[in-house]
Chain A
Amino acid sequence: MSIWHWNLRITSRRNHCGFWRKGSLCGLLLILIGLLTLTTGCQVNQQAFERIAGDAGAAFSAASTTLNYFHHGQITNLYARASFEEYQQELGGLDRQLPLQQGVPDKHTIEQLLVVYKQAMQVIDHPCLDTLCNWHIQLASLDRASQAFLKAGGQ
C-alpha cells in the first residue's frame, strides 16, 4: 500500500484530532479567500447598473429574435407566447429598479432609457403573434431598446 493510501486511510479511522486540526487550518484559508474576494470584488465585477442594463439589452434582443423567428415560421405561436412570458418576468419592474443601482449615470440618460424601456415593454406585454398587427414596428421598438440598454451596459 502506498503512502498516499495510508495517509487517506489514517484520516478516516485513527486520527480524527489531526483531521479537525487540518480542518481549522482549512477554515482559516477559506476566510482569507473570502476576504480577498470581497476586497477585490469591484475590480473583477461590473457595477450593478451596467450589469442590469446589459442583461436587459440582451433580453430585449432575445425578444426581438423570438418575434422575428415566429413571423418567419421558425417557432410556433405557443413557443413564442411562453418565451415572452419569460421575458416579461425578466424585464418587469426594471424602471423602478434601475435608478437605484450602484453606478447609475446622470438623470437625463436614465430618463431616456426609461422612455425606450416603456415603449419596448408594451411589446413584451402584448407581442404581435398573429397577422392582424404590425410586427415590424414592434421589432423596431425592441431593437431600439436592446441597443440603448446594451450601450448603457458598456457593450
Chain B
Amino acid sequence: MKKWFSITLGIVTATGGFLDAGTIATAGESGAKFGLGLIWAVVLATIEIILLVEMVGRFTAVSKKTYADAIREDFGFKFYLFPLLSEIIAESLLLAAELGGIAIALSLFTGISWHIWFPVAALLVLVMSWRAPFDWIENGPALFGLLTLSFVIAVVALGGPSHDTLVTLWNPDVKQGDLADYLYLVAATLGATISPYLLYFYSSGAREEGWSGSSLVLNRVTAFLGMGFGSVGSMALIVLGAIVLRPLNMNANTLGEIGLAMAKPFGIIGSLLFASVLFVTCLGAALEVVLAVSYNIAQGFGWEWGENKQPVKAARFNLTIIIFLLVAVVIRLIGLDPLHLALLASTVIALFLPISLFPFLVLMNDPQYLGNKVNGRLSNLAVILILLIAFVVALVSLPLEVLTGGG
C-alpha cells in the first residue's frame, strides 16, 4: 500500500512540477507566434527528460551516489568544474527568471508592481529552502502545480484548435525573417524542459530519501508517467496561445498576457487560475534550482549537505543557498524582464547541455557504478541525438537573437 502511495505521489509531483517560468514563457510565446508549430519540440524534450530522469534515478538508487559525487570521483575535480560552471551560469539566470515569475504572479493578484514583489519572492524562497523539510519542498508546490491541468480543460472548453490552427502542427507558419525567432524558441523549449538542475535535484532527493535497488519501479513509473503527463500542461498552453492569442496578433511577450488565454474561457477565475499556476510552479522550480545548485557545489567540494539537516549542521551548504539567491537578485538588476530572462536562460541551458550531460552519459555506461543496470545502446543514442539538436539550434539562434535585440 505504501509503495503504491509513493508511486502515485511520485507521478503527481512530477506532473505538477513539470512547468516553470521557462516552460510557461516558451509555451505561451510559441503558441502565439507559431501556432502548434513547436509541439514537436515539446515532444522531443519530453522524451529526453523522461530518459534522463529515469537514468539519474537508476544511477543513484543502484550506485548509492549522487550525480555530482560521481562526476568528481570519476573525472577528477578539475573536470568537475566545467559542468559546475556551466550549471552556475545557466541556473542563476533561470533562478532570476523563476523569482520574477513569482513576483509577477503576486503582482497579478495584488496590482502592486512586480519590482516590489521581487525581493519578497527571493526572501520567500530563502525562508522555505532553509526551514521547510525536503518532502514539503518536493511535494507541496508540485501538488498545487496540478492546477496546470486547468489548461487542458480550457482547451476543451474552447472547442480545441480549428482546422487552420491544426495545420500549423505539421506546417508551421514561419514567415520570411522569422526563422531565427523560431529556432530560438525551439532551443528555449528544449532547454526549458531538459534542465540539468532537475537531475541534480532528483539525484540528491533520491539520496535524501535513501533509495535503493527496490526503488527502481517507483523511479521508472515516476519518470515515464509523471513527466509524460506533465508535458500535457505545456502542450495545452501552446494550444491556448494558438487558439486565443495568435488570432489577436499577440506575441505573448509578457507573462500577464499569457493568462488572458485562460480568461477567455473562464473569465476572472481563469485569469486567477493562471496567476496561481505561475506562482506555485515558479516557487517550486526556484526552490529546486537553488537547492540543486547548492547540492551540486556542496557534493562536489565534499561539504556536509542535506535539506533535512539543521542549517548549522550544513553551514556551507546553506551559505551557498544565500549567495546563489543574491546572485539572482543582482542579475535582475541588469533590467531584463522575467519572460525574456526565462527565454534567455532556457536557451543558454540548451547551449550548455553537452557540457552538463555528456559526463553523465559516460557514468551511465560504467558497470563499476551500475553493474548490469548500465544504459542500453538505444537510450544512449536517443539522448545524444536530442542533446546535439538542442545544442546546435541554441548555438545558431542565440547570437542572432542577441544581435537583433530579440529574445
Contacts and interface: CB of A to CB of B under 8 A. Distances in A.
B374 A79 contact: no
A24 interface: no
Contact of B403 (A33, A41, A61, A89): A41
B34 to A, nearest CB: 13
A29 B303 CA distance: 38
A8 B337 contact: no
A62 B362 contact: no
Contacts of B275: 79
A90 B255 CA distance: 12
A90 B253 contact: yes
Contacts of A47: 177
B77 to A, nearest CB: 14
A13 B263 CA distance: 56
The listed residue with most A CB atoms (<10 A of its CB), out of B75, B257, B400, B406, is: B257
A154 B363 CA distance: 50
A24 to B, nearest CB: 15
B94 interface: no
A46 B263 contact: no
Interface residues of A, number: 53
B380 interface: yes
Interface string A48-81: 1011101101110110011001000111111101
Contact of B257 (A44, A73, A83, A155): A83
B248 A86 contact: no
The main secondary structure of chain B at its interface with chain A is helix
A36 B395 CA distance: 11
Given A37-B396, A77-B111, A79-B271, A90 B249 contact: no
18 contacts: A1-B367, A4-B365, A4-B380, A8-B365, A33-B395, A41-B403, A51-B404, A51-B405, A57-B249, A59-B253, A65-B260, A69-B263, A69-B271, A76-B272, A83-B108, A86-B256, A146-B249, A154-B175
Interface of B: 32, 74-75, 104, 107-114, 175, 177-181, 183, 248-251, 253-257, 259-260, 263-264, 267-268, 270-272, 275, 337, 359, 361-363, 365-367, 374-375, 377, 380, 392, 395-396, 399-400, 403-406
Rank and list the top 9 A-B pairs by shortest CB-CB distance, nearest first. A78-B111, A58-B251, A46-B177, A83-B256, A44-B179, A86-B254, A45-B180, A81-B111, A82-B107
Given A8-B380, A55-B251, A86-B256, 6 more contacts: A33-B395, A34-B399, A62-B253, A79-B272, A85-B113, A155-B249
